[in-house]
Every structure is written in C-alpha cells, then in structure tokens.
Structure 1
Amino acid sequence: MADRQPVIITCALTGAIHTPSMSPYLPVTSDAIVAQAVEAATAGAAILHLHARDGATGRPDQGVEAFRRIVEPIAAQTDAVLNLTTGGSPYMTVEDRVKPAQMLAPQLASLNMGSMNMGLFPMLKRHPKIAGWEREHLENSRELIFRNTFKDIAYVLDACRANGTRFEFECYDTSHLYTLAYFVEAGAIEPPFFVQTVFGLLGGIGAHPDDISHMRRTALRLFGDDLVWSALGAGAHQMRVAATVAASGGHVRVGLEDSLWAGPGQLAASNAEQVEAAKVMLDGLGLRPATPAEAQHILSLTPIRVAA
C-alpha cells in the first residue's frame, strides 16, 4: 500500500478568547501550557500555536518574558514547530502583539489578514456565572473591532523579516484572502503560503460546507500550487470542519483555543485529547499526521530555533 498522505495537525493550546472559568482544563499557567504542549506534540501535533497568559488572573499576556517561560521549555522537550501568535488579543496594539515573535525568532508566527468584528458575547449564554474581567472581556466584544489594517500587517512582516520567520496567514473571510494576495503581488511574501482559514467565529465567515468550499476555491484560484491550505472550526464546528478540510486535501487545526469540547456537552480534558481525535479522523480518511520534519518541509521553514 502506498504511503498515506501526511496532514499537518496544528494544536492551538490556549488562545485569548476562552477564559479560565469556562473550563478547568484550559491551560493558564506557564507550567500547564508547557505540559499540555508536550502532550499534544507527543500525541501527533506537528505545529504548536502558542499564546501566553498571566498565571494569576488568566488574562492574555503578550509580554516577551511570558512567552519565553513557555517557548524555551517546549522547544527543549519537543521537535514540534513553534508558532507564536502576533494576534495576541484584539484589545492589544500591533506593536505589543508582534513583540514575542520579533524578539524570540520562531520558525513560524501567525498573522491575521484583515480587520473584523469579533463577537464573543454569545458565550455569555453558556457561561452565565462568569464575572470580573472575564465577563467584561465577553460583553465588550459587542463593539469590538479586531484591527488588522494594511499598515498593521506590513508592520508585522517588517518586524519579523530579519529573523527568517515565516507566517501562518489567518483568514476569517474571503476579503482576507484578497488582502494576502495584495501582499503577495507586492513582493512582500514568498511562497509557499500557509493559509489558515477560520470558520464559525461570529464576525467572520460561517462553517457551512459551502463556506468551506468557497474559501478553498478562492484560495486555490489566488495562490495555485503555492498554497498550503489549513483550516479550523470554532466551537462545536471543530471536528466537522477538520474532517471536511482533510477530505478535501487540506491540513487541520484543533486545540482548546478554538473549542473547549470533546463532544456534545463533554469538555475536552486536554489539548492532546483533541489531537488524538483528529488522528482517528485522519486514519478513517486514509491519511496520517505529518511529522514535525515533514511540516517543516511542506512549509519551507528555515532550520532555526527560538532565539536565546
């Protein structure tokens, strides 16, 4: 039997959307993030998408030292590709958001490709007892614009250029694909283009199969053979989107940043649990998880590690 096609599993460990009161399994402290990252890599995640948090409050923390506390021990214990967020939290400035990737020089960093409304407030219905900063975090999203202007995007590209860091381009709607195409045509980005299409977040494109097909067709038309397509589904859409995308030749992202769930009404006990579920899904499709070395080859990543 011919070797099964490798599919990159990205695991997004904690993010900046979900809050600690929503799940006891969401990693918040540096030690918890490191432990879950190592478990997810062992389970089969080739890429670890990293955010940091304040261990005392659970708030998103985009400080360089907060990232260093998680990046260095993860790099020492796994071969996974480390992908540092430049999205941070929508409430942060782009200068703050890019600083960890600028200073720590990872192989990969995320880059959001457009401004958007980001509605997190519907989660209040599912978590009515949330209080304090967590409630404010969700309530304030009724008027939240996640700013990612052309100037902001150029700033991130320029800030990380000297590091050799490449990007995972996060696209929440069709217009974001065209923004990426603009920067490609301007010569600001070299192929291949690792495009992470995001489905099911209020303010972005939906998670209907027609939405997925539309984004795939548009990305293929714009980037052709230079496209490396991946996708994630928010919340309950996670595994349905992953299965649809993997069956269509794409790569997948899972993790507690995107969904806290292992099934209807069942919280995932760890990020590794979702990676394991993705592996089962891939096996059923006749596919297999890519190794970190294969992910580096597919994405043409330079063999750099995190800066000291």
Structure 2
Amino acid sequence: MNNDVIITCAVTGAGNTLAKHPDIPVTPTQIADSVIAAAKAGAAVAHIHVRDPKTGAGSRDVELFKETVNLIRESDTDVIINITAGMGGAWFPSDEDPSLPGPGSDVISAAERLAHVKAVMPEICTLDCGTMNFGDNEIYVSTPDCLRAMAKQVMEWGVKPELEVFDLGHIRFAQQMINEGLITGTPLFQICLGLTWGAGADSESMIAMKNALPANTNWAGFGIGRMEMPMVAQAVLLGGNVRVGLEDNIYLDRGVLASNEQLVQRAVEIIERLGARVVGPAEAREKLGLAAV
C-alpha cells in the first residue's frame, strides 16, 4: 500500500465530452481556473490538454498552451504542470481507400508533437508508449522510432516523461527505452485503464500491469468512467499514485455531473479512508525526482 499518495488531475482532455457536460473547461482561463481549484482541493499534479475556444475540440495550438500555462504560473497556487504530448497521432482509415487517411486524421512528426512542450517547458510531459486501436475505426499512432525521438528530446530539455501505458506491450517498449538510455532517473509510469481497446479498468489488469513495471519505479493508475474511483482505491492498495479528472470521467455520482475540484475531493476522501495521506506538490517533486521550483 502507498501511504503517501500523489493525486494528478486531468482537467479537460481532448475527447467529445463537451457534448455531455456543458462545464468542461474549454478556454485557457477556464482550464487554468480548473487547475487551480483542483490543486487547492489536493491535486499535486495537473495534466493539461487545451481546446479550441470556438469549437471545444481538442487542440495542439502552441499559443493556447502558452496562455494556459502562463495563467497557472502567474497564480499564487503551486502545482506540478504535466503537459500532454499525445496529440498528433490520430489515424482514421478512409472509407474509400483504407491505405489513405480519412477525415479527422492528424499524424505529425515527433518534433511537431513536442512543439508546445518546448514552448512552455513543463516539469512533466506524457509519452504514450505504443500504437493502439482507440476506437472501432480509429488508430492512435505512436511508433517506436517516434517515441525514441521524443524521449531523447525531452531528456535533453530536462522535462520528465510520464510513460503512459495502455497495455502490457507498452510497458515492454518503455523498458526498452530505459535499456537504451532514453529514460533516465527513476521512471514515471501512468497505467491507463478502460480505454477502447486497451487494458480493462479492473483489478486484474492493474495488478498485471503493475507487476510488469520495472523495479524502482514511480507509478500511478486510473480508470475511466464509473471505474475512476474504484481504480483510485486499487492503485493506492497496490502501492501507486492516482489520477482523476474530467478527462477520464464526467460524473461525481450516477447522473450527477462533476467538477475537477469535486473529483479531487472524492479521491482525497478515499485515500484518507484507506489510512493514507495526500501529499502536496513540494513533496511530490521530491518523490518524483523533479527539481524544486
């Protein structure tokens, strides 16, 4: 069991959740305000996507990331900034010719996937450690060589990669990058459960993936939808940290829409009822091997 738990709040994501929840943070100000509220509720880390303010769709616009991160940094609230580097891997096969990209496809180079990371230099950014079926007609493309290039670049910048793993094969490749010297220091993993068609959000999957992690690893785990809070408890019991937030689940209770602040508060309650405690950003930095700010 982990007695000193780091909470990450994934505040908005890039999915089509706005159609179901009218208060999903969309603008830089809304996202920054939600990060600040989540941090005050107990989140030591904020995992940040941005959205097009006009359409609400997920975006990789560098200026939106800069504006959002600047607003957070200019506030009086300390929080570890964890920026997504997962945008730019969407492939929808064309109905007319499956060898060609269809509408919605957005596959770009390693350098382009990191343009916004370079612009804001967060303490952490994500690396999605493998290609997977992300829906019935969508492939998320994250090739080994692309990941190698991204890992090398963020290492040179001093940004810690959070290795997002959605299945056991992703852990195998993350271990390979460690073996190749592309991941240095104590690795940081995020076990991502319940996404189509990755590992399920259940105890057996989390146990199997936790057991496959390299030794001397920091890790967290999450489940999407109604399994968000059960996976909070499961991760703590297995010795990990946790992630909650509107990117992963939009409900506080059945039929009751949530805010990020409320989801963090619920996670804090679960953690404390298990007999553990929630750590703040300063202690989280020490645990994760991040430089103090």
- TM-score, normalising length from structure 2? 0.90
1:201 counterpart (177, 195, 207): 195
CA distance in 2, matches of 1:280, 1:19: 25
- 1:234, distance to aligned residue in structure 2 (A): 0.9
1:17 counterpart (11, 15, 18): 15
Give per-residue Cα distances to partners, 1:48-80, cap 9 Å, x unaligned. 000011111111111211101100111222211
SS of the residue aligned with 2:215?
helix
1:33 has 2:27 as partner: no
CA distance in 2, matches of 1:21, 1:272: 20
What is the aligned length? 274
Give per-residue Cα distances to partners, 1:253-278, cap 9 Å, x unaligned. 0000011111222211x101000000
For residue 114 of structure 1, what is the amino acid of its counterpart?
G
CA distance in 2, matches of 1:146, 1:15: 15
CA distance in 1, matches of 2:152, 2:175: 17
SS of the residue aligned with 1:162?
helix
1:184 counterpart (178, 185, 189): 178
Is the Cα contact below 8 Å between 2:29 and 2:71 reproduced in 1?
no
1:259 has 2:259 as partner: no
- 1:160, distance to aligned residue in structure 2 (A): 2.1
Is the Cα contact below 8 Å between 1:11 and 1:271 reproduced in 2?
yes
- 1:102, distance to aligned residue in structure 2 (A): 2.0
CA distance in 2, matches of 1:256, 1:18: 11
Corresponding residue for residue 79 of structure 1: 78
1:115-130 equivalences under 5 Å are: 115-119=131-135
1:42 counterpart (40, 45, 49): 40
Corresponding residue for residue 123 of structure 2: 107
Corresponding residue for residue 292 of structure 2: 303
CA distance in 2, matches of 1:24, 1:63: 22
Corresponding residue for residue 152 of structure 1: 146
For residue 150 of structure 1, what is the amino acid of its counterpart?
P
- 1:207, distance to aligned residue in structure 2 (A): 1.4
For residue 169 of structure 2, what is the amino acid of its counterpart?
S
Corresponding residue for residue 263 of structure 2: 274
CA distance in 2, matches of 1:243, 1:182: 30
CA distance in 2, matches of 1:161, 1:248: 29
CA distance in 2, matches of 1:237, 1:89: 27
Corresponding residue for residue 137 of structure 1: none
SS of the residue aligned with 2:142?
coil
Corresponding residue for residue 244 of structure 1: 234
- Which runs of 5 or more residues in structure 2 are unaligned? 91-105
Corresponding residue for residue 124 of structure 1: none
- 1:89, distance to aligned residue in structure 2 (A): 5.4
Percent identity over paired residues: 33
For residue 124 of structure 2, what is the amino acid of its counterpart?
L
CA distance in 1, matches of 2:162, 2:154: 13
- Which runs of 5 or more residues in structure 1 are unaligned? 120-141
For residue 28 of structure 1, what is the amino acid of its counterpart?
V
CA distance in 1, matches of 2:193, 2:88: 18
For residue 6 of structure 2, what is the amino acid of its counterpart?
I
Corresponding residue for residue 95 of structure 2: none
Give per-residue Cα distances to partners, 1:8-58, cap 9 Å, x unaligned. 000000011233211012111111111111100000100000001111111
CA RMSD of aligned residues (A): 1.4
- 1:88, distance to aligned residue in structure 2 (A): 2.2
Corresponding residue for residue 272 of structure 2: 283
Deviates most, 16-25 or 185-194: 16-25
SS of the residue aligned with 2:151?
helix
* Dislocated runs of 4+, deviation >3 Å: none
